[in-house]
């Protein structure tokens, strides 16, 4: 059984760790390069998998307006994170500008994770039947797996 909240939190925690290291001035360039690649692949994969999971919700149930509103906030947050990631990738590793953009993206991810944990996932639990909530978790997990195995998506950047 896949639980959406735990799967999403795992991505958020992974991103938060990687971005914390990227924003530290004493991180070595080899470690930073590997973690930057992890952020570059994880962030879009997370957003795409969550999009598919949310689409399944609205396909399979007449959701209350509250869920549409919260889902739109989640998607808007992903868009701002992807834009911040593009800005981060445009910087030379190790520079002050690189670390500042890593800190900014880290804050965006943290705010997004807090919002989902405090508002969105509880609303999903309140409004979705348990089997649908479990199905959405399974869809998220399957999409994350599919994306991680798709070479073309790993080459995006």
**Average confidence (pLDDT) over 21-28:** 84
**Average confidence (pLDDT) over 59-71:** 90
* Each residue's pLDDT tens digit, 113-157: 999 999 999 999 888 888 888 888 899 999 998 988 876 544 444
Range of the domain at 35: 4-154
Q: What is the token pair recorded at 17?
A: 């760790």
Cα separation of 5 and 14, whole Å?
14
| Lowest mean pLDDT across 4-8, 92-96, 148-152 | 148-152
Cα separation of 83 and 78, whole Å?
9
pLDDT at 28 over 80: no
- The tally of domains found in the chain comes to 1
pLDDT at 2: 53
Q: What is the token pair recorded at 133?
A: 């909530």
Q: What is the DSSP string of 66-114?
A: HHHHHHHHHHHHHHHHHHHHHHHHTSPTTSHHHHHHHHHHHHHHHHHHH
Cα separation of 25 and 28, whole Å?
9
pLDDT at 105 over 90: yes
The residue that leads in pLDDT, 60 or 80, is 80
Q: Are 153 and 147 in contact (CB under 8 A)?
A: yes
Determine what percent of the chain is predicted with pLDDT higher than 90.
Answer: 66
* Each residue's pLDDT tens digit, 31-49: 899 999 999 999 999 999 9
Cα separation of 29 and 12, whole Å?
23
């Amino acid at each position: 059984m896949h639980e959406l909240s735990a799967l999403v939190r795992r991505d958020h925690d992974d991103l938060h760790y990687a971005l914390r290291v990227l924003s530290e001035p004493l991180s070595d360039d080899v470690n930073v390069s590997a973690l930057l690649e992890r952020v570059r692949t994880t962030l879009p994969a997370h957003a795409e998998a969550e999009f598919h999971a949310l689409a399944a919700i609205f396909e399979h149930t007449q959701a209350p307006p509250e869920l549409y509103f919260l889902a739109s906030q989640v998607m808007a947050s992903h868009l701002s994170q992807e834009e911040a990631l593009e800005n981060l990738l445009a910087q030379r590793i190790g520079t002050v500008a690189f670390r500042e953009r890593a800190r900014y993206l880290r804050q965006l991810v943290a705010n997004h994770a807090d919002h989902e944990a405090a508002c969105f996932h509880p609303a999903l639990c309140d409004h979705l039947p348990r089997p649908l909530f479990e199905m959405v978790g399974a869809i998220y997990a399957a999409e994350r797996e599919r994306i991680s195995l798709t070479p073309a998506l790993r080459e995006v950047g």
